[in-house]
Amino acid sequence: MDSEANRETPDVESVVAILGQSATTLIQIISRHALDQDISLFLVGGVIRDLLLGRQNLDLDFVLESDASAFAHSLAGEFGGSVHMHPPFATAKWILDATAAANLRHSPGLTEAQIDFATAREETYPSPAALPRVIPSTIDRDLARRDFSINALALQLSPAAFRGRLVDPHGGRADLESGIIRVLHDRSFIDDPTRVFRAMRLASRLDFTIDAQTEALLHAAAPTISRLSGDRIRHEFQLILSEHAPELTVVDLESCGAFVAIDNAWLISDHLSEFFARCRKLRPPWQHSDYDLTTLYWHLLMVELPAEGVNALCDRLSLTRKLGESVASFARKLNMIDDLRDPTLLPSQITRLLDDASDMALHALWICAFDLPIVKQRIETFVDRWRNTRPRTDGNDLIRLGLQPGPRFREILERLRDAWIDGVIESEDEERELLHELLKDTSA
């Protein structure tokens, strides 16, 4: 297929309207820098796809048919900022600091932005799901290694003779107009199973259809997801859970076998779409500093996983210790839903059931229990009142009264707290009376 576009590429005015003046100015400055050096520079991938769709995408990726690291360093030398290189993949990041932003007339909001540069390259995969080996090449070969036709697009910015040329060797623009997700070759998903996640994510985000051949290849390759490292899987899930409606992608992934490829006990709740929608629409009546929508989604992905398997899956996905512990506490509390529905439970008993749960675990439990009024109300009251209730007496007081630290020591403090929570005592005088009785029992 001819790589020259027969139709117009986006003009400067439309680029400004879509990306904004700041990003457009940055592209123009980088382009002029390449023109001055008379080197081949291309803006590639998702930003071109989204420009043609009229969607904003400020993730700017540039490819050069020359040394990307040298070009990034020359930009940093003229404008400021720093460069982080990754030689195995012939890539470099230009990190804009305040000096660079000022020199580039960049908006303050994009200070510390990272601009990606890569040398045009070919890739070979030593084994399925392995990281590729790369060698320098041409823009056409570089686009041929990409995941889908709609991402295998490039806008040439330099040299002057080819400025404004849309490079489209795989029919990506036609697929954009048809709303199609299509891989470039039959081994695409085998070489890189993370493309299974990306195909589903893009189809959901853009409301595109995965073409029949690509879908067949995707389903056939889904078991190879098991070969991916936990870091790579977690990264793909983070991207999915950052989407506007991630449940669409999650349901599609389960239907193709992606979840069981990661852990054969990992099933998705039939209510997951409802749970995710609640997360976006509803907030509990309490505030907590740990609130983060993506983190909340992580908890609800585990609803159907047996509690004893949660820790293993969290380890498999290399989740942070904090997130893993929170998800595990949520799984334990979810198993107590039936207990929490018991109308005879005392407030102190409810408190004991919920006491060691993280704020995020309680939030997730509240989402799951939204149709169970008694459980929902008990979670709310626990957070609002019972959780923070403490007796006026503390350990130092017990020591001054001659009690030695030990199991009875803790039991007395818990009995005092329970009495406050259950309304058995309502004043410091009543607490002292109860403490006196408990100490008499201890000495008996």
Q: Are residues 124 and 19 in the same domain?
A: yes
198 and 307 share one domain: no
Residues 66 and 94 in one domain: yes
Bridge partners of 63?
Answer: 42, 118
Instruction: Specify whether 149 is located in the same domain as 205.
Output: no
Same domain, 21 and 151: yes
**248 in the same domain as 334:** no
Kindly report the backbone phi and psi dihedral angles of residue 134, in degrees, each rounded to the nearest multiple of 5, phi listed first: -120, 150
Q: Are residues 334 and 428 in the same domain?
A: no
1, part of any domain: no
Rounded to an integer, what distance in angstroms lies between the CA atom of residue 196 and that of residue 241?
15
Q: How many domains are contained in the chain? A: 4
> Is position 5 within any domain?
no
Check if the beta carbon of residue 120 is closer than 8 Å to that of residue 137: yes
Question: Do residue 44 and residue 170 come from a single domain?
Answer: yes
Q: Are residues 205 and 353 in the same domain?
A: no
Q: Look at residue 321 and tell me if it is in a domain.
A: yes
Sequence-separated (6 or more) residues with CB below 8 Å from residue 143: 44, 152, 153, 154, 167, 169, 170
Between the alpha carbon of residue 207 and those of residues 65, 181, 195, the distances in Å are 34, 10, 17
**Cα 261 to Cα 328: distance, rounded to the nearest angstrom:** 21
**Domain edge (last residue) among 348, 372, 388:** 388
Question: Is residue 297 included in any domain, yes or no?
Answer: no
| 3 within some domain | no
The answer to whether residues 18 and 121 belong to one domain is yes
Segments forming the whole domain that contains residue 420: 395-443
Co-location of 314 and 384 in the same domain: yes
**Token pair recorded at residue 220:** 């056939």
The pLDDT tens digits along the chain (444 residues) read 334 443 456 666 677 788 888 888 888 899 999 999 999 999 998 999 999 999 998 888 999 999 999 999 999 999 999 999 888 788 999 998 888 888 877 555 555 578 999 999 887 777 776 777 777 789 999 999 999 999 999 999 999 999 999 999 999 999 999 999 999 999 999 999 999 999 999 999 999 999 999 999 999 999 999 999 999 999 999 999 999 999 999 999 999 999 999 999 999 999 999 999 999 999 999 988 888 999 999 999 999 988 889 999 999 999 999 999 999 999 999 999 999 999 999 999 999 999 999 999 999 999 999 999 999 999 999 999 999 999 999 888 888 888 888 888 889 999 999 999 999 999 999 999 999 898 887 654
Same domain, 144 and 204: no
CATH number of domain containing 148: 3.30.460.10
d(CA 360, CA 326): 7
CATH number, residue 207: 1.10.110.30
Q: pTM value?
A: 0.86
Question: Is 4 contained in some domain?
Answer: no
